[in-house]
Chain A
Amino acid sequence: MRFGVVVFPGSNCDYDCFYVLRDVLGQEVVFLWHGDEDLRGCDCVVLPGGFSYGDYLRTGAIARFSPIMSSVRDFALSGGVVLGICNGFQILLESGLLPGALLPNRSGRFICRYVFLRVERTDTPFTLLFAPGEVIRIPIAHYQGNFFLPQDELSELERRGQVLFRYCGPSGEVEEAWNPNGSANNIAGIVSLNLCVMGMMPHPERASEELLGSTDGRRIFLSVVKWLEEKRHARCGA
């Protein structure tokens, strides 16, 4: 299994993801430079958090034009597993790989804190290891995480079951009081129709070690590992 973490100028969670994958989970992982086109045989591409290109113009708006993103796009459209975290989520939206937009937080301020998330489905490469409706604890750190879609498209997204994580209370209550940024329907993460591209605002790489206070995030990475292994076995067995 090989993971690739894309490095854009201004990415700042690239090494954090790399560290969790390599040192905590023992996976093979490489950095992918934004100016290259070669995905170097990766089975899963991670678009990390940060401020790619300084967030100038609009978050993710410049990054989508970098050479690596055309390869990531082809990879995703052919069923490759892509995980976009925070700024990576924003880039996925700008690239059209996922629907919607992320507006500035309702408070108008950057928010860094732990939040509770409810896992909405467990049959995706990113959530295999969770129980349906499970409540997990992972931090957010963003200025623009307020997920928006026009009402009809939002209904469509919901109907197709593309919502993977919702902000909630400690007992899983999805209420406005637990919505940190104003996201529509408390949405914290969504998945593509083919289930292989996921974008989320919370940072699983920050919740992957006991020492840091939560290990819920590592199960997202481990789900991907399991999913890829099963897929590979299936192929081998076929």
Chain B
Amino acid sequence: MHVVELEKVARELGLRKEEYERILAILGRVPTLTEIAMFSVEWSEHCGYPHSRKWLELLPREGHFEVLVGEDAGGIVYDDVVIVFKMESHNHPSQIEPKQGAATGIGGIIRDILGSGARPIACLDSLHFGPLEDPRSRYVMRGVVEGIAWYGNCVGVPTVAGEVWFYPAFRGNCLVNVMCLGIAPRGKLARARARGVGNAILYVGNRTGRDGIGGCSILASQEFAESEEKRPSVQIGDPFTEKCLIEATLEALATGFVVGIKDMGAAGLTCSSSEMAASGESGVDIDLDRVPVREEGMEAWEIMMSESQERMLLCVEKGHEEEIRSIFKKWGLEAEVIGRVTDTGRVTIRYRGEVVADIPAKELVRPPVYTPERVRPAYLDAVNSLTLDDVPLPGDFREAFEKLLGSPNLASKRWIFEQYDHMVQTNTVILPGTGTVVLRVKGKPWGIAVTTDCNPFYCYLDPYKGAQIAVAEAARNLAACGARPAGVTDCLNFGNPEKPDRYWQFVAAISGLSEACRFFKIPVVSGNVSFYNESPLGAVYPTPTVGMVGIVQDVTKALRGCFSKEESLVLLFGETKEELGGSEYLRIVHGIEAGPPPSLDLGFEKRLQEFLIQCIEDGLFLSCCDVSEGGLAIAVAEAALSGEKAFGVEVDLAPFEGFREDVLLFGESCGRALASVSPACFEEIAGRAKRWGIPCVLLGRVGGDHLVFRRGSQVLFSVPVTEALRIWEGALAKYV
């Protein structure tokens, strides 16, 4: 191919002029077409993180527990178990082809965990869509849920938790952030490296086809106008093969003859071969004629860039190839030795008797770093100028309450999570919908609590504080079931980083995230950055999704969020402040989208959380949940309605003096939690709260068949439990 044409191809694949020149310098010659393809995917935003890598160094890596950070996922060590977890985005594929986009997102993140040598034990999803009134958004939401159910249920990993948000900012670009968690015995983690001259490079799993070619560089590394043409770039998943791949891989790893292993996900064979070589300080020599392919006549660059799903690359000790191959064959999977480890430090690719690529591995995995200009977005001042005096009190509190209870962001997500098998593997101790989800680890007295959190609207109003609130809320959710936060994985979703205001949002959010994590001493063990989340409709809200994992020391004491007993007392911990900014109440009831978001006192948060954990460990609570979006009224309603039996409750706001009623009912002040307790424990708890400096208000009592909110003698509203249930449980189904 002519040099001018090569440069053109390089540009089409997203390589900048100066990047192309660097390639010329690295190779000392004109690159081949295959080499250009390989550089383009390795240096793409999706694989190489050129715009974010510098900032990721801000994130803390140390916490209360030992941290292990591997090539593809990280984890923490507790007892003699490594808990590995990671979150990743699959936004653009899901917007274009919702079912397959979401499904292959699940497949990919499961293989990341599998590649670390851990058995995947749970998945979570943080989903963001446009409003359900919009038909296209409904289609995307239905497809994404269907894809997660179809793939996740078949593959036998329970989908246990997550969050779902609906805002207009996600109409043209949904967010599908998927998280997977796995466990392995301490010391049994696998590495993503090729090492030992002469060792075999073994290709296993599905055959390679032309599907998903350039999926990551094309789809995830530039803004996109939603286009049918890009559908071929979306990969197609096969959960049955993935299930077999999980079992075969774990069986193979148990032999002790696997030196290294890596998922062939984004950027496929290019990424796995070059990164395994680089991290093993080795070279690899691969013959593409031996790669199992789906069709004849594929070009070398197509094989190298294909993102066909359910494939892994292994480095196997010389002499044990057949033993490992036979395991994969037993599970009905392809398994072919396609190359060997060398000491050249180069990734050498051969095809049809010719060398089609020969690149120093370390150069390939060293993408450029960009820190473009950043400018504080102009909109921030305008949207943060709320004065409460301009907000009228609602004429009818019941109407306002019911409107919020039935709004998609606050309504029950049962319609979604019941479509996911959240019980397979029989570890789910606290089920989704009833509180923070807790998993047991068979044979251990302790358990694992998991959550994902981020309020994207807060982050839009204030990316720095929004990110901090996300960390605080995640930790508070864990504390509410009795878990101490142990580690974070993050998925940072932003617009085009080449636009200065978007890049400012990113830097502000990651700074907030890292400071909050540092404050709580929670290490960020893994994560993912997703830029270019914008469509002709504009950029998404900046969304730094936090996936947090915590430890419950005694899993039998893990606490649910729902009320469990008539006549128990309802307590509110924490301070309610005169603030409504960023609240769902303002958006839904008044149509006001304005901040600032609630204030945050990290020191108080930490104290409150430790207080909650100790009360739960001492068996003082019957239920506990955090108070967040929708405020106290929605938190009380959720606690009343979400158990297998719904309860009535009577709440009296008389103890609060001088507050507006809507602030008390619907304000979203941080640092608050709701608990139900046995009357016999009340004195002990109140005394303890006083000693800890935690405001504690006795709100009322569980019982009756209405949700009643009063302020002294004035009944603000009273809704029959059956009616509240109908509104809350029926909201999502109404749209879909």
Interface SS of chain A: helix, strand, loop or mixed? mixed
Taking CB atoms, residues of chain A closer than 8 Å to B431 are 213
Q: Given B241, B332, B426, which contacts A19 in the complex, CB threshold below 8 Å?
A: B426
* Contact status of A51 and B424, CB under 8 A, knowing A9-B332, A112-B419, A213-B431: no
In the complex, the answer to whether A54 meets B239 with C-beta atoms within 8 Å is yes
Contact B425 A56 (CB under 8 A): no
Q: Which B residues touch A80, using CB under 8 A?
A: none
Residues of A within 8 A of B156 (CB): 12-13, 50-51
A75 at the B interface (CB under 8 A): no
B153 proximity list for chain A (CB < 8 A)? 51, 110, 141, 143
Please state if B418 and A212 are interface contacts (CB–CB under 8 Å).
Answer: no
Task: Indicate whether A205 reaches chain B with its CB closer than 8 angstroms.
Answer: yes
Chain A contact-residue range equals 20 to 34
Q: Check A56 against B418 for contact (C-beta < 8 Å).
A: no
Cα distance, A16 to B440, chains bound together (Å): 13
Q: How far is the CA of A19 from the CA of B417 in the complex (A)?
A: 25
Name the distance in Å between B557's Cβ and chain A's nearest Cβ: 11
Question: Which one, A10, A113, A205, A212, contacts B428 given CB within 8 A?
Answer: A212
Q: Judging by beta carbons under 8 Å apart, are A112 and B239 in contact?
A: no
Scan residues 420-457 of chain B and give those whose CB is less than 8 A from a CB of chain A.
420-426, 428-429, 431, 440, 442-443
Judge whether A118 is part of the interface by a CB distance below 8 angstroms. Answer: no
Most buried by A among B424, B429, B443: B424
Question: B243 contacts which of A12, A110, A113, A114 (Cβ < 8 Å)?
Answer: A12
* B539 beta carbon closer than 8 Å to chain A: no
Find out whether the CB atom of A112 lies under 8 angstroms from the CB atom of B418.
yes
When the two chains form their complex, are residues A112 and B442 in contact, meaning their CB atoms are under 8 A apart?
no
Residues of B within 8 A of A166 (CB): none
Q: Is the CB of A51 within 8 A of B243?
A: yes
B644 touches A (CB below 8 Å): yes
Contact with B along A12-25 (1 / 0, CB 8 A): 11011001100100
Would you call A123 an interface residue if the criterion is a C-beta within 8 Å of the partner chain's C-beta atoms? no
Min Cβ gap B625→A in Å is 18
Q: How far is the CB of B434 from chain A (nearest CB, A)?
A: 10
A9 and B426 form a contact (CB under 8 A): no
Contact of B239 among A20, A51, A143, A205 (CB under 8 A): A51
User: Chain A residues near B426 (CB, 8 Å)?
Assistant: 16, 19-20, 205-206, 209, 212
Contact check, B644 vs A114: say whether CB atoms are below 8 A apart.
yes
Chain B residues lying within 8 Å of A35, measured Cβ to Cβ, are 330
Inter-chain contact A9/B331, CB cutoff 8 Å: yes
State whether the Cβ of A139 lies closer than 8 Å to any Cβ in chain B: yes
B238 interface residue per 8 A CB criterion: yes
B555 within 8 A of A: yes
**Chain B residue nearest in CB terms to A52:** B240
Residue A109 lies at the interface, judged by CB distance under 8 Å to chain B? yes
A120 to B717, CA, bound (A): 46
For B637-680 the 0/1 string (1 means CB < 8 A from A) is 00000001000000000000000000000000000000000000
Does B716 sit at the interface, judged by CB under 8 A?
Answer: no
Of residues 391 to 433 in B, which have CB atoms within 8 Å of A's CB atoms?
417-426, 428-429, 431
Q: Which residues of chain B come closer than 8 Å to A211, judged between CB atoms?
A: 429, 440, 555-556
B149, B423, B440, B555: which has the most chain A beta carbons within 10 Å?
A: B423
Contact pattern, B 565-591, Cβ under 8 Å of A = 1, otherwise 0: 000000000000000000000000000
Smallest distance from the beta carbon of A180 to chain B beta carbons, Å? 10
Known: A15-B425, A211-B429. 14 other contacts (CB 8 A): A13-B156, A19-B442, A35-B330, A51-B153, A53-B240, A54-B239, A54-B241, A110-B153, A110-B420, A112-B422, A143-B153, A205-B426, A209-B426, A211-B555
15 A-B pairs in the complex with CB atoms less than 8 angstroms apart = A9-B332, A10-B244, A13-B424, A15-B425, A16-B424, A16-B426, A35-B330, A50-B156, A50-B243, A54-B240, A111-B419, A205-B426, A211-B556, A212-B423, A213-B431
User: Lowest 10 A-B CB distances belong to which pairs?
Assistant: A54-B240, A12-B156, A51-B154, A141-B421, A16-B426, A110-B419, A112-B421, A110-B149, A10-B240, A206-B423
